[in-house]
C-alpha cells in the first residue's frame, strides 16, 4: 500500500495504482478523454495533466503510477493551466457544429470545453476536415470531430478481440478508419458509440431522431440472450428512441451486444399489431378486447369439452416474462390442460434435468475460472458478452478450450479445440472423457461406454487443460442443448465435470429460459409432434422459433383454434383464429431470470402501443372470464412474488433426471447440416430490426457455408447458387467456411430462407 495525498486529502492505495485510480477512489474528478477504465492506457489526449510535487512539469494522471508519499494537485493553478492549454489544442481542429451534432448535450468535449475552453479561439488558420468513413449500418461517422483519443481502436483490439479500426497516417494526417472498403463487423461494435467522447462515432439508427435532453432514461433488462444485460432505455413521446447499457459489473459491465442495443428498432416497427383481431369466414376483423377475450374463453372451453384437456397446448418463447409464463401455466392448468412448453428449439425430447438449468455459478465466477471448456456453442453469436468476458480472462491466464461442430474464431487464444461433425459432438466429447480418464487414472462411469472411442491429440489437449485447472468450468451452449443428442452430450459433459471437479453449467439461450424452467412451464415436450386441436401461442412463431418449422406449421395449420398473443404481425394471419396484441418487454412490467439464476424485474418504459395490453393482464382477465380461482392480481409484483415464493437457488440443478446410456456411434459419411440459429433471428425483436439485418453477420446467415473440399465435391464455388433439399427446398448462395469439417454444410435454422427445410430429413445440395 502506498500513501498519497490528492488535493490535500491523504489516502492509501494499492501498489501499481495510477494517479487517476487514486483520484477516482476519493471522488476527485480529473478531466480526461482517452482514459477508460476497461481499456489500456494510451495517455494521448493529455487532458488529465495534473501537478505532482517535485515533478518539473505536469504529468498525465492516467499514466503516472503512484509513488509513496506523492502529493498531487488536480486543480491547482498549474494543473488547470495545463488542462486549459490542452483543451485549446483539442479545439483547434474541432468543428463548431454542436447544434447539429448528435452528441450535443452528452459530449465530454462539450462539457469540458465549458470548464476549460476559452469563449473564442485564437486559431485563425484553416481547420482540417476529414472524409467520413462507412463503418457499416450501425455506426455513423463525422470524422472531422475526432480528437484521436483511440478509444474505439483500443476497444476493437482489446475488447472485441480483432482490430477493425486503426489510426493510419501521422500527426496532422492521422485519421481513424477501418481498412479500405471494410466495415466494423464485430457483434459488440455498438459500444464504440458510447466510448467516443465526441460526436465522431454516433448511432446510425438513432441519428437525428432526438436530442439527449428530451429523452427520459428508464431502466430495463435485455430480452434476448440468457445474460440479462441491464439497459437504460431512452424514451421520448412514449416511443423508445434508443437503448444504452446500464453499468452492472456482475452482468454486462459497461457493454451491450449489438442485438441488445439495436433491436429496439422492432418496437417501433410498422409490423406491430395494435388491435385484437378475429378471423371470421376467412376474413380478419378488428374487434374490441372484450369480444376477443370472450371468443377465446368460449373457444378454449368448448375444445376442452369436445376433445379433452390433452387437445390443447400452450406454447411460449423463453423471451416471455416470468409473470406471463406463470399466469399462462396457471390458466392452462385451471382448464385442466397440462401441455405447456417453451423449449421449442430442443430437438432431443429425452433431454431433461432435475432442476433449472443454469450456469452452475455466477457470471463473475465463470470469468474467474482458470480453465473453461465450451461445448457446442457459437459463443460470440449466442452470448456475445460471455465471449467478451472469457476474452478478458484469457489475458489474465485463463485457458479456454472448445468442443464444437464448427471452428469459428472466438477471437481469443484457444488453448485447445476439438472440431467435430454436427452429428458427432458426443463422440468428440467421449474422446475428451476417455483422455481425462486416462490422465486421472480414474474409471469411466458405468453408463458411458468409451470402448469404441479413440483418443485424438486434440482431445488429449482439451483433457489436459481441464485436468490441470484448479477452478475449471464446462459450459454447454445453445448448439449442445438444441442438438438431436442433447441428453448424451449432457451426460458426457457432466461425467467430465464430475471426474475433474469442474463446475458444470448451461448457457441458457433465452432471457427467461431459466424462469420458464423454474415455474415448471416446460411440461409437454414436443407439442407439435402430435398435432393438437388448439394452440395458444405466446410470442412464439412456429416458423422461426421451433426446432422443426415444417412440422410446427403443419400442426398449427390443422388446429381448430389457434390463439396468437403477439406484438407483431406475421404469417399468423394464415393459421391463427384470434390475434391478441400483447406488449413487448418495453411496455410491460416483468421479470427475467438469467443464466446465473438471478431474477431481474423491470417496469414498462413506455405505455402500450394502441390497444396493446401486457400479456399478464390479458391472462388475468381470461382467468376471470373462465371462472378460474386465483386470478385477482393487482400488480405484476404479486404475480412475481407468487411465482418466486419457493425461491430460486434451491431449484437450480444441472443434474440429469436419470443416467443416459452413451455409446459412440460411427461417423456417417454423407452430407450433414449444421443448423444454427443466427444471431439476429434469435427472437421476435431481433428478427424485425432492419439495421441489424443490414450487418455482415445477418448476410452471412443467408448463405450456405462449407469448406473447400466439400464445395469441390458438390461442384460449386463461393458465390454460386445452390438448391438445398431437406424435406422442403431452399435456394442459397454459397460461401466458404474453411474451418468446417468435410461433408459439413452450415445452413441457418429459424431463418426465412430456410423455413421449408426439415432438419431431420435427408439432405441434398446441388447447383441451382
Kindly state the smallest distance separating residue 188's Cβ from other proteins, in Å: 16
Kindly state the smallest distance separating residue 103's Cβ from other proteins, in Å: 24
Kindly state the smallest distance separating residue 461's Cβ from other proteins, in Å: 17
Centre a 10 Å sphere on the Cβ of residue 689 and count the other Cβ atoms it contains: 23
Q: Does 739 bind other proteins (CB under 8 A)?
A: no
Q: Does 69 bind other proteins (CB under 8 A)?
A: no
DSSP 8-state symbol, 454: P
Q: Does 409 bind other proteins (CB under 8 A)?
A: no
Instruction: Answer whether 671's CB lies under 8 Å from 704's CB.
Output: no
Q: Which residues contact 527 (CB under 8 A, 6 or more apart)?
A: 313, 315, 339, 341, 535, 555
Q: Does 167 bind other proteins (CB under 8 A)?
A: yes
Site string for other proteins, 549-588 (x = CB under 8 A): ----------------------------------------
Kindly state the smallest distance separating residue 171's Cβ from other proteins, in Å: 9
List of E strands, 342-398: 371-375
Distance (Å, rounded) from C-alpha 611 to C-alpha 634?
Answer: 20
Q: Does 132 bind other proteins (CB under 8 A)?
A: no
Q: Does 165 bind other proteins (CB under 8 A)?
A: yes
Query: Which residues on adjacent β-strands are paired with residue 733?
Result: 703, 721
Kindly state the smallest distance separating residue 508's Cβ from other proteins, in Å: 33
Nearer to other proteins, 171 or 282 (CB): 171
Nearer to other proteins, 34 or 448 (CB): 34
Backbone angles phi, psi at 199, to 5 degrees: -100, 30
Q: Which of 102, 142, 164, 258 binds other proteins (CB under 8 A)?
A: 164
Kindly state the smallest distance separating residue 43's Cβ from other proteins, in Å: 18
Handedness of CA 252, 254, 259, 260 (dihedral sign): positive
Nearer to other proteins, 106 or 157 (CB): 157
From the list 126-134, 159-167, 221-229, 742-750, the region that binds other proteins by CB under 8 A is: 159-167
Nearer to other proteins, 178 or 513 (CB): 178
Query: 486-500 vs 425-440: helix axis angle to the nearest 10?
Result: 20
Do strands 312-316 and 340-341 pair parallel, antiparallel, or not at all (unpaired)?
parallel
Site string for other proteins, 170-209 (x = CB under 8 A): x--x---xxxx-x---------------------------
Question: For residue 16, how far is the Cα from the chain centroid?
Answer: 34
Q: Which of 169, 308, 610, 668 binds other proteins (CB under 8 A)?
A: 169
Q: Which of 115, 168, 336, 715 binds other proteins (CB under 8 A)?
A: 168
Nearer to other proteins, 160 or 744 (CB): 160
Nearer to other proteins, 43 or 595 (CB): 43
Kindly state the smallest distance separating residue 160's Cβ from other proteins, in Å: 11
Q: What is the dihedral of CA 600, 601, 603, 609, to 10 degrees?
A: 80
Nearer to other proteins, 183 or 743 (CB): 183
Nearer to other proteins, 157 or 725 (CB): 157
Kindly state the smallest distance separating residue 166's Cβ from other proteins, in Å: 4
Dmax (CA) of the chain: 92
Q: Does 44 bind other proteins (CB under 8 A)?
A: no
The string over 586-614, giving b where at least 16 C-beta atoms fall within 10 Å of a residue's C-beta and e elsewhere, is bbbbbbbbbbbbbbbbbebbbebbeebbb
Centre a 10 Å sphere on the Cβ of residue 214 and count the other Cβ atoms it contains: 12
Kindly state the smallest distance separating residue 132's Cβ from other proteins, in Å: 17
Distance (Å, rounded) from C-alpha 280 to C-alpha 577?
Answer: 8
Q: Does 162 bind other proteins (CB under 8 A)?
A: yes
Q: Does 131 bind other proteins (CB under 8 A)?
A: no
Listing DSSP states for 534-554 in one string gives EEEEES--TTTSSS-HHHHHH
Nearer to other proteins, 166 or 531 (CB): 166
Distance (Å, rounded) from C-alpha 315 to C-alpha 367?
Answer: 34
Q: Does 738 bind other proteins (CB under 8 A)?
A: no
Kindly state the smallest distance separating residue 396's Cβ from other proteins, in Å: 16
DSSP 8-state symbol, 185: -
Kindly state the smallest distance separating residue 716's Cβ from other proteins, in Å: 25
- State the DSSP H helix or E strand holding residue 507, giving kind and residue range, or none if neither: none
| The C-alpha cell that represents 656 in the structure block | 440429469
Q: What is the helix, strand, coil percentage profile of the chain, to 5?
A: 35, 20, 45
Kindly state the smallest distance separating residue 746's Cβ from other proteins, in Å: 23
DSSP 8-state symbol, 157: I
Residues that bind other proteins (CB under 8 A): 157, 162-170, 173, 177-180, 182
Amino acid at each position: 500500500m502506498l500513501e498519497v495525498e490528492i488535493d490535500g486529502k491523504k489516502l492509501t492505495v494499492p501498489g501499481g495504482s495510477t494517479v487517476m485510480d487514486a483520484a477516482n477512489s476519493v471522488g476527485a474528478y480529473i478531466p480526461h478523454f482517452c482514459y477508460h477504465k476497461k481499456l489500456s492506457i494510451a495517455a494521448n489526449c493529455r487532458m488529465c495533466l495534473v501537478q505532482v510535487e517535485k515533478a518539473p512539469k505536469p504529468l498525465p494522471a492516467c499514466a503516472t503510477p503512484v509513488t509513496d508519499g506523492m502529493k498531487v494537485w488536480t486543480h491547482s493553478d498549474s494543473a488547470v493551466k495545463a488542462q486549459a492549454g490542452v483543451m485549446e489544442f483539442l479545439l483547434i481542429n474541432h468543428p463548431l457544429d454542436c447544434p447539429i451534432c448528435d452528441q450535443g448535450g452528452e459530449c465530454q468535449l462539450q462539457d469540458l470545453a465549458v470548464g476549460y475552453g476559452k469563449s473564442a479561439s485564437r486559431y485563425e488558420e484553416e481547420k482540417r476536415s476529414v472524409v467520413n468513413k462507412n463503418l457499416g449500418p450501425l455506426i455513423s461517422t463525422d470524422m472531422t470531430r475526432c480528437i484521436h483519443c483511440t478509444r474505439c481502436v483500443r476497444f476493437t483490439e482489446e475488447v472485441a478481440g480483432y482490430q477493425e479500426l486503426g489510426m493510419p497516417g501521422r500527426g496532422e494526417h492521422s485519421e481513424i478508419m477501418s481498412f479500405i472498403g471494410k466495415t466494423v463487423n464485430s457483434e459488440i461494435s455498438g459500444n464504440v458509440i458510447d466510448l467516443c467522447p465526441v460526436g465522431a462515432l454516433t448511432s446510425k439508427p438513432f441519428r437525428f431522431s432526438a436530442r439527449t435532453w428530451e429523452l427520459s432514461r428508464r431502466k430495463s433488462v435485455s430480452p434476448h440472450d440468457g445474460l440479462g444485460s441491464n439497459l437504460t432505455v431512452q424514451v421520448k413521446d412514449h416511443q423508445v428512441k434508443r437503448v444504452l447499457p446500464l453499468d452492472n459489473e456482475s452482468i454486462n459491465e459497461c457493454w451491450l451486444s449489438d442485438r441488445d442495443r439495436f433491436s429496439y428498432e422492432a418496437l417501433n416497427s410498422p409490423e406491430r399489431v395494435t388491435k385484437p383481431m378475429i378471423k371470421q369466414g376467412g376474413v380478419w376483423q378488428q374487434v374490441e378486447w372484450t369480444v376477443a377475450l370472450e371468443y377465446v374463453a368460449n373457444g378454449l372451453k368448448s375444445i376442452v369439452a369436445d376433445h379433452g384437456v390433452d387437445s390443447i397446448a400452450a406454447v411460449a418463447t423463453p423471451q416471455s416474462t416470468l409473470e406471463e409464463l406463470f399466469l399462462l401455466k396457471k390458466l392452462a392448468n385451471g382448464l385442466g390442460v397440462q401441455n405447456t412448453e417453451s423449449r421449442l428449439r430442443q430437438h432431443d425430447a429425452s433431454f431433461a434435468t432435475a432442476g433449472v438449468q443454469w450456469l452452475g455459478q455466477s457470471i463473475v465466477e465463470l470469468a474467474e475460472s482458470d480453465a473453461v471448456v465450451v461445448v457446442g456453442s457459437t459463443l460470440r453469436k449466442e452470448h456475445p458478452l460471455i465471449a467478451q468476458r472469457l476474452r478478458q480472462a484469457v489475458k489474465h491466464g485463463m485457458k479456454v478450450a472448445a468442443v464444437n461442430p464448427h471452428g469459428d474464431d472466438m477471437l481469443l487464444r484457444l488453448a485447445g479445440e476439438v472440431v467435430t461433425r454436427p452429428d458427432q459432438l458426443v463422440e468428440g466429447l467421449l474422446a475428451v472423457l476417455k483422455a481425462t480418464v486416462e490422465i486421472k487414472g480414474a474409471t469411466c462411469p458405468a453408463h458411458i461406454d468409451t470402448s469404441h472411442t479413440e483418443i485424438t491429440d486434440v482431445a488429449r489437449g482439451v483433457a489436459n487443460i481441464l485436468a490441470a485447472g484448479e477452478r475449471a468450468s464446462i459450459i454447454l451452449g445453445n448448439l449442445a442443448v438444441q442438438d438431436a443428442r442433447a441428453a448424451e452430450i449432457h451426460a458426457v459433459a457432466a461425467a467430465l465435470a464430475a471426474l475433474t471437479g469442474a463446475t458444470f453449467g448451461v448457457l441458457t439461450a433465452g432471457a427467461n429460459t431459466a424462469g420458464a424452467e423454474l415455474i415448471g412451464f416446460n411440461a409437454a415436450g414436443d407439442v407439435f409432434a402430435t398435432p393438437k386441436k388448439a394452440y395458444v401461442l405466446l410470442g412464439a412463431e412456429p416458423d422461426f422459433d421451433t426446432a422443426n418449422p415444417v412440422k410446427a406449421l403443419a400442426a398449427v395449420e390443422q388446429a381448430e383454434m389457434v390463439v396468437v398473443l403477439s406484438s407483431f404481425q406475421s404469417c399468423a394471419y394464415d393459421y391463427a383464429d384470434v390475434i391478441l396484441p400483447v406488449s413487448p418487454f418495453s411496455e410491460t412490467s416483468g421479470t427475467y431470470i438469467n443464466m446465473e439464476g438471478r431474477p431481474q424485474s423491470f417496469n414498462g418504459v413506455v405505455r402500450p402501443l394502441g390497444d396493446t395490453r401486457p400479456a399478464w393482464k390479458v391472462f388475468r382477465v381470461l382467468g376471470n372470464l373462465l371462472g378460474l380461482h386465483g386470478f385477482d392480481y393487482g400488480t405484476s409484483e404479486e404475480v412475481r412474488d407468487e411465482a418466486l415464493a419457493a425461491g430460486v437457488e434451491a431449484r437450480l440443478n444441472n443434474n440429469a433426471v436419470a443416467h443416459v446410456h452413451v455409446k459412440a456411434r460411427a461417423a456417417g459419411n454423407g452430407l450433414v447440416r449444421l443448423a444454427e440459429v443466427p444471431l439476429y433471428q434469435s427472437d421476435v425483436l431481433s428478427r424485425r430490426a432492419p439495421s441489424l439485418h443490414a450487418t455482415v453477420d445477418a448476410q452471412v446467415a443467408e448463405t450456405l457455408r462449407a469448406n473447400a473440399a466439400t464445395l469441390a465435391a458438390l461442384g460449386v464455388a463461393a458465390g454460386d447458387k445452390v438448391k438445398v433439399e431437406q424435406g422442403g427446398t431452399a435456394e442459397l448462395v454459397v460461401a466458404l467456411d474453411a474451418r468446417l469439417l468435410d461433408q459439413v454444410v452450415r445452413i441457418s435454422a429459424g431463418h426465412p430462407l430456410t423455413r421449408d427445410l426439415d432438419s431431420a430429413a435427408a439432405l441434398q445440395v446441388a447447383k441451382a
